Amino acid sequence: MKNPRVSVVTPVYNGAPYLRECIESVLAQDYPNWDYTIVDNCSTDGTREIADEYVARDPRIRVVSNATFAPVMANHNIAARQISPESKYCKFVLADDWLFPECLSRMVAVAEAHPSVAIVGAYGLRGAEVWWYGLPYPSTVVAGREVCRLKLLAGVYPFGTPTSVLYRANTVRSRQAFFNEANLHADKEVCLDVLQDHDFGFVHQVLSFTRTDNDSLTSSYRRFIPHWPARLDDLVRYGPVYLTEAEREQCLTTHLTRYYAFLARFVLEVRDREVFAFHREKLRELGHPLSRVRLTRAIISRVLDLALNPGQSLSSVWRHARRRGLAESMVRSVVVRGSEGQDAGSSLAQLATVDTGKPGLSRAERDL
């Protein structure tokens, strides 16, 4: 078939402010053979009314309404199940986002030319910035295992978001639940699962727009900063699949050093015990329980960094941390109580003598 069917799906909850723009971008596609299903997750802001307007205008569009409210990834799975039996490809576009007019045609062309490809990605605008880069031009097709190795070893992330990729429909149908509903990074998990046995296609062109100022998950994400345990989860689960043992151990060592540097900054400069408890529990779940000694060493390293940084006042930062109560209580629990066989009488002065070197953080990590 010259233009195989693409099922476009949009899971939405209270998406009225941007839904029209999203739907119009689907209508503007230069690719002719598509159907479009909007899954309304019990919206209360006029989302259903907007969707119904377009249903009345175009027979290729339909609306499915959930009987009860579903969590985010559960609603994504409901949307994935709406793809038509005739469809060869599945394209998500989230309700806050939109597609450039040539998105479907460019992605389908890559998939049709390369039957081994199960997922096709492309550059995308995220706010005002171009994201999902890392593959050298003209990497139209990359072995799935190789692109996953690049993700784990170098942080290259061309997978983007559900809006920025195209899935082969049989890949969607082959999984009972396409997305892991317990994982907010389930779209990444899908890629790491599927690409064990398939290739990855890429279009070196900006084909989608992801909004950053209206994401209902943004405030929670910024508060809990879950990418730290998510990266650890990647290494624990997929390191044995894609990396050698030596590579995996090196990546784990590097990431845990950076993770504890983040936790040290968090202890010194932020007061949010719920978030700290979240990270402590995630470390336990992933088989790397919180090391109080390691955390204390990271705290000392951070304090020394501040002391040697002429642009910051150690005393003011330390007073700020003490005033908020968290640093003092955390250091007391770590040092006075002791752990992991360490002398409970260990002091900050003694710990200051250990090697506190750590690899540099990326700009994004430093900003956190």
CA gap 94, 79 in Å, rounded? 11
How do residues 339-358 score in pLDDT, each as one tens digit? 333 333 333 233 232 322 22
DSSP-derived secondary structure for 211-279: -SSS-TTHHHHHHH-THHHHHHHHHHHHHHHHS-HHHHHHHHHHHHHHHHHHHHHHHHH---HHHHHHH
User: What does the pLDDT average to over 266-278?
Assistant: 88
User: What does the pLDDT average to over 241-255?
Assistant: 97
The terminus-to-terminus CA distance of the chain in angstroms comes to: 49
Q: Which residues of 249-261 are buried (b: 16+ CB within 10 A; e: fewer)?
A: eebbeebbbbbbb
State the DSSP H helix or E strand holding residue 9, giving kind and residue range, or none if neither.
strand 6-12
CA gap 189, 252 in Å, rounded? 18
How do residues 36-91 score in pLDDT, each as one tens digit? 999 999 999 999 999 999 999 999 999 999 999 999 999 999 999 999 999 999 99
Helix boundaries (H) for 28-179: 47-57, 72-80, 103-113, 144-154, 169-173
Instruction: Name the average pLDDT for the chain.
Output: 86
CA gap 135, 64 in Å, rounded? 37
| Backbone torsions φ then ψ of 222, nearest 5 degrees | -65, -30
Report the percentage of the chain scoring pLDDT > 90. Answer: 72
Q: Which two tokens stand for residue 44?
A: 């209360």
pTM exceeding the 0.75 threshold for the entire prediction: yes
Judged on CB neighbours under 10 Å (0-12, 13-18, 19+), 225 is middle
CA gap 270, 279 in Å, rounded? 14
CA gap 26, 93 in Å, rounded? 9
What residue ranges define each of the domains in the chain, with the CATH number in brackets?
6-216 (3.90.550.10), 220-367 (no CATH)
Q: Which two tokens stand for residue 30?
A: 């230069």
Neighbours of 246 (CB within 10 A): 8
| Residues 29 and 101 sit within 8 Å (Cβ to Cβ) | yes
CA gap 110, 268 in Å, rounded? 49
pLDDT reported for residue 309: 76
CA gap 133, 131 in Å, rounded? 6
How do residues 284-335 score in pLDDT, each as one tens digit? 999 999 999 999 999 999 888 888 875 554 454 444 444 444 444 444 443 3
State the DSSP H helix or E strand holding residue 294, giving kind and residue range, or none if neither.
helix 292-308
State the DSSP H helix or E strand holding residue 282, giving kind and residue range, or none if neither.
helix 273-285
77 DSSP β-pair partners: none
CA gap 234, 237 in Å, rounded? 5
